[in-house]
């Protein structure tokens, strides 16, 4: 049992707690009958101006729980003055969601709310949507896996259509209740409503069984949206036709930076459509088309876009049907493109050969910021792997010899001086170091240690806060190694 569950159990067992105290009676001008009648409708409780007049914060939430006849969640009540609240997997149900919505209508503190997997259904979604029309502070919301069904999705999509909320991040993964809606219903709702929004910058619509028709509709709307920067459509059914339509939308889209299309069975035709889009799109920087049944022929068609694209930085293409032939085509396209900004290509399942390795080394000479993640090297599995000295120890030796601290070393390669170095810049700087000899394997290991959460940034600000007398260089390096 987690800490929050223990607190809730303790409250219900009568232990001393603000949450366990009986809530105050409703104001005299609101009858019990009126309060009861409002508990099964949307956010309105007959007349909320009367029902909750002068009631705020925790007291308001407790009163709402009493009216909804649900047990208060202590973690929520105790954190209403904080910016982040996580209520994932709390079993709230639609009435519990309604009580939370009532408490947040005028809340000015909470900016990020997690409500995933709470079975709030369409009823709860409607209440959340009504709350968002009034709330001016909430910026990030996760209501994934809540069986919203078509009716609930429509309530959220209508909210987006009217630009009636201040949300900029919205997670709506797995909206479908098993067997709850016909194919195409939810994607039709969102393509007609949600994509006309000019507030939301990040949208997660993964695991929603969007069909080829849905892809066509989403492609049309993507062509006119000017705000959305991150879109997750992974684990849907876009397939060939849906992806082709999406590619058409990408050709004219001027906002989207990150697109996840993994697990959509887009095939070679879908890959070709995306390649055509990359020829003219000058905004997209991150594309994930992993697990999509793309073979070498599809990779070649996709590479027609890579040969001229000047913005894409990250390409995830693992677990397709590529062999070393397709891998060679990908690296060759980037290598020959003078405008390429590519920093990472992930083809981690592909078995490569020595010819490919030589091509890669040649590409690295002119593009030291590039990192290609591939599988095993053919014929080298049984060989004793080359030993690479621990990169942290190599750097430590240099620091000791020059009486430097680790943060001072990083500062020398930090062009902007904000103590946050993009991984590609860091990788390139380390490759160009003449005083510290590290190969790409060692640098990759170093990046994994310094960017453990794969943020794409090496943040060394915490190192400067340590006083030299208290944290000698050797201890600093030891601590960094322990964080591996």
Domains and CATH numbers, the chain: 83-374 (3.80.10.10), 391-482 (1.10.238.10)
Return the pLDDT at 128: 98
Return the pLDDT at 29: 37
3-class secondary structure, 103: helix
3-class secondary structure, 183: coil
H or E stretch at 188: helix 185-192
Query: Tokens for 394?
Result: 């190599």
Return the pLDDT at 88: 98
Positive/negative CA dihedral, 96, 97, 99, 104? positive
| Per-run averaged pLDDT (10 residues), the chain, 484 residues | 48 38 38 38 52 79 96 97 97 97 96 98 96 96 94 89 90 75 60 66 93 86 90 95 95 97 97 98 97 98 98 97 97 96 96 94 90 86 63 86 84 84 85 82 82 81 57 50 52
Q: How far is CA 239 from CA 277, 306, 409, in A?
A: 16, 21, 49
Q: Give the C-alpha separation, 204 to 174, whole Å.
A: 9
Return the pLDDT at 306: 97
Of residues 332, 294, 333, 293, the one with CA closest to residue 310: 333
Beta-carbon contacts of 165 under 8 Å, excluding residues fewer than 6 positions away, are 132, 133, 135, 138, 159, 199
Return the pLDDT at 114: 98
Query: Tokens for 50?
Result: 């009367």
φ/ψ (deg, to 5) at 462: -65, -20
Query: Tokens for 280?
Result: 């003219």
Return the pLDDT at 177: 59
Q: How far is CA 301 from CA 109, 264, 310, 329, 351, in A?
A: 50, 18, 17, 10, 21
Return the pLDDT at 11: 45
Return the pLDDT at 479: 54
List the Cα angle 449/454/458 in 5-degree steps.
60
Q: Are 316 and 341 in contact, with CB atoms under 8 Å apart? A: no
3-class secondary structure, 464: helix
H or E stretch at 13: none
* In the block, residue with structure tokens 């009126």: 34
Of residues 465, 472, 429, 466, the one with CA closest to residue 447: 429
Return the pLDDT at 478: 54
Beta-carbon contacts of 40 under 8 Å, excluding residues fewer than 6 positions away, are none
Return the pLDDT at 393: 87
Of residues 321, 307, 305, 313, the one with CA closest to residue 287: 313
Return the pLDDT at 16: 34
Of residues 199, 245, 206, the one with CA closest to residue 225: 199
Q: Are 17 and 73 in contact, with CB atoms under 8 Å apart? A: no
Query: Tokens for 320?
Result: 């397709």
Query: Tokens for 133?
Result: 């029309």
Positive/negative CA dihedral, 390, 391, 394, 399? negative
Strand 420-422 vs strand 457-459: parallel, antiparallel, or unpaired? Answer: antiparallel
3-class secondary structure, 194: helix
- Output DSSP code: residue 287: E
pTM of the model: 0.80
């Amino acid at each position: 049992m987690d800490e929050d569950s223990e607190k809730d159990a303790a409250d219900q067992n009568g232990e001393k707690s603000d949450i366990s105290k009986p809530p105050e009676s409703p104001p005299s001008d609101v009858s019990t009958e009126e309060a009861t009648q409002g508990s099964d409708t949307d956010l309105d409780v007959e007349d909320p101006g009367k029902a909750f007049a002068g009631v705020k914060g925790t007291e308001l939430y407790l009163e709402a729980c009493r009216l909804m006849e649900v047990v208060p969640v202590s973690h929520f009540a105790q954190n209403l003055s904080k910016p982040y609240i996580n209520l994932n997997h709390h079993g709230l149900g639609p009435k519990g969601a309604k009580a939370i919505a009532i408490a947040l209508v005028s809340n000015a503190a909470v900016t990020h709310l997690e409500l995933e997997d709470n079975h709030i259904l369409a009823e709860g979604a409607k209440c959340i949507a009504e709350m968002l029309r009034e709330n001016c502070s909430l910026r990030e919301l996760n209501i994934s896996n809540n069986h919203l069904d078509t009716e609930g999705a429509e309530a959220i999509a209508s909210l987006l259509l009217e630009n009636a909320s201040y949300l900029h991040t919205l997670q709506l993964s797995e909206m479908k209740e098993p067997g709850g809606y016909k194919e195409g219903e939810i994607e039709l709702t969102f393509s007609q409503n949600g994509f006309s929004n000019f507030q939301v910058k990040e949208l997660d619509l993964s695991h929603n069984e969007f069909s080829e028709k849905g892809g066509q509709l989403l492609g049309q709307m993507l062509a006119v949206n000017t705000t959305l920067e991150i879109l997750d459509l992974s684990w849907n059914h876009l397939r060939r036709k849906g992806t082709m339509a999406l590619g058409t939308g990408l050709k004219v889209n001027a906002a989207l930076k990150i697109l996840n299309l993994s697990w959509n069975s887009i095939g070679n035709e879908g890959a070709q459509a995306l390649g055509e889009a990359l020829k003219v799109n000058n905004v997209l920087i991150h594309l994930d088309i992993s697990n999509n049944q793309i073979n070498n022929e599809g990779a070649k068609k996709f590479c027609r876009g890579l040969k001229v694209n000047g913005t894409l930085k990250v390409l995830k293409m693992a677990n397709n049907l590529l062999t070393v032939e397709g891998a060679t085509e990908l690296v060759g396209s980037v290598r020959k493109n003078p405008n390429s900004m590519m920093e990472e290509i992930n083809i981690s399942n592909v078995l490569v050969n020595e010819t490919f390795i030589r091509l890669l080394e040649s590409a690295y000479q002119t593009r030291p910021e590039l990192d290609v993640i591939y599988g095993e090297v053919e014929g080298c599995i049984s060989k004793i792997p080359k030993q690479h000295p621990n990169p942290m120890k190599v750097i430590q030796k240099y620091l000791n010899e020059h009486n430097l601290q680790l943060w001072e070393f990083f500062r020398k390669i930090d062009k902007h001086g904000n103590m946050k170095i993009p991984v590609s810049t860091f990788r390139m700087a380390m490759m160009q170091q003449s005083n510290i000899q590290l190969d790409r394997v060692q640098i990759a290991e170093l990046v994994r240690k310094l960017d453990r959460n794969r943020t794409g940034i090496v943040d060394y600000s915490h190192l400067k806060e340590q006083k030299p007398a208290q944290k000698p260089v050797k201890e600093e390096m030891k601590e960094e190694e322990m964080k591996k």
